[in-house]
A = this chain, B = another copy of it.
Amino acid sequence: MFPKGFKAGGIRCGLHKKEGKKDLALFISEVPASAAGMFTKSVTKAAPVLIDIEKMKKGGKISAIIANSGCANACTGKKGKTDALSVCSETEKEFDLQKNSVLCASTGVIGQYLNMNAFKSGIKKLKNALGSSKKNEEESVLAIMTTDTFIKKAFKKIKTAKGEITIWGCVKGAGMIHPNMQGLHATMLSFIMTDAEIDSKTLQKLLESSAQQSYNCVSVDGDTSTNDTLIILANGQSKTGKLSSADLKKFAKALDEVTLSLAKQIAKDGEGATKFIEIEVRGAKTKSDAKAIASTVASSPLFKTAVFGADANWGRVIAAAGRAGVEFDPEKTDIYMGGFLTSRNGMAVTFPESKAKKALQKKEIKVVIDLKSGKESSKYYTCDFSYDYVKINGDYRS
């Protein structure tokens, strides 16, 4: 499934405390690739994020991404940065890559240094683990997972006048998920590779726009990480040459599908989640109004626990909407939960409660908020708030 000219691999080197857990991944292109990226907006940026931002400012081509789980290399000061730089240069040396052509990413516990001995031995070990088979694909994603419970990946092929192009992407992230990246907004590690030929400036634009309708529409717990990283590499190895503007549109559409699929997978795998929730706000005056309301409802613990309890508690939906900082008329607003109209014009309607309860016991729940005041709409993806969220996060570090 990998685009042409890319390989990946994932191994265990001992960075993650869990016995046997793969913890080091490499995504590598056989030729230097155009790159674009988006990173956490947090003031407390982790060392790998700081390093990547600096590298990408220089605008050079990128050959590989080295990423680990188990340790976030965040809140680690100067030593953290030195370590992150060293991780990149060791990878460059080991795989005979140009200087400054490797990006790095880390996820895991905050405030601990990377185990550099383990890391260095891991880089050597990766040499024999690289490939483009389904096994390689899965191993690389497994190696960046933390509390994730399944492998999250997506791919898409596009036919252009000059041949086929592939986009492949993966994402890791189940907790500390909430919109807050530079330009974009999300919280996770996500790497996308394509064999299309696209310059890095165009790539950056496409990525930012694509993130707006995907990663930027996901919330698990309203928390934002120190390590959020989204990188796309385009190596041109499809040999289809520079894309025509029609093909570029096709590419953009396919990229949107890949990132949206990945974003939804994050919500489905939210820490402790038992249900995937799609919130659609319709009939808003502006897109940003719609998004602000959808985001506020998606982040409401009261709404999310109600969905966990399969309770068609539309009052919590409208209460959350009301505090989104957006002016709208609650007395014109309709709410649908699990396919049932639960309130019209801001007031209760009679609906079959037991049927609604059944609908809300399903794995995928849709909530629609129709403001009936305009033509704009926006969707947001989240999950319910369960006992297991508390369990997972009450125990995570210790």
Contacts and interface: CB of A to CB of B under 8 A. Distances in A.
Contact of A222 (B301, B319, B328): B301
A75 B334 CA distance: 11
Contacts of A321: 43-44
A38 to B, nearest CB: 15
Identical copies of this chain, number:
2
Q: What's the interface size class on A, roughly?
A: 35 or more
A209 to B, nearest CB: 23
A51 interface: no
A366 B386 CA distance: 27
A243 interface: no
Nearest to A307: B394
A109 interface: yes
Given A305-B390, A387-B390, A393-B305, A111 B176 contact: no
Nearest to A227: B319
A41 B323 CA distance: 7
Interface stretch (A1-9, A87-95, A341-349, A375-383): A341-349
A316 interface: yes
A24 to B, nearest CB: 21
B44 A314 contact: no
Q: DSSP majority for the A interface?
A: loop
Given A74-B315, A75-B318, A319-B74, A326 B43 contact: yes
Interface string A119-136: 000000000000000000
A69 interface: no
Nearest to A225: B319
Contact of A110 (B72, B301, B318, B395): B318
Given A43-B326, A110-B316, A111-B315, A75 B343 contact: yes
Nearest to A301: B221
Interface string A3-35: 000000000000000000000000000000000
A162 B392 CA distance: 60
Interface in A350-398: 357, 385-387, 389-398
A315 B393 CA distance: 13
7 tightest Cβ-Cβ pairs between the two chains A and B? A110-B315, A44-B322, A309-B394, A305-B393, A42-B322, A224-B323, A111-B348
Given A75-B315, A222-B300, A309-B395, 8 more contacts: A44-B346, A75-B343, A110-B318, A112-B348, A175-B302, A223-B323, A226-B318, A306-B393
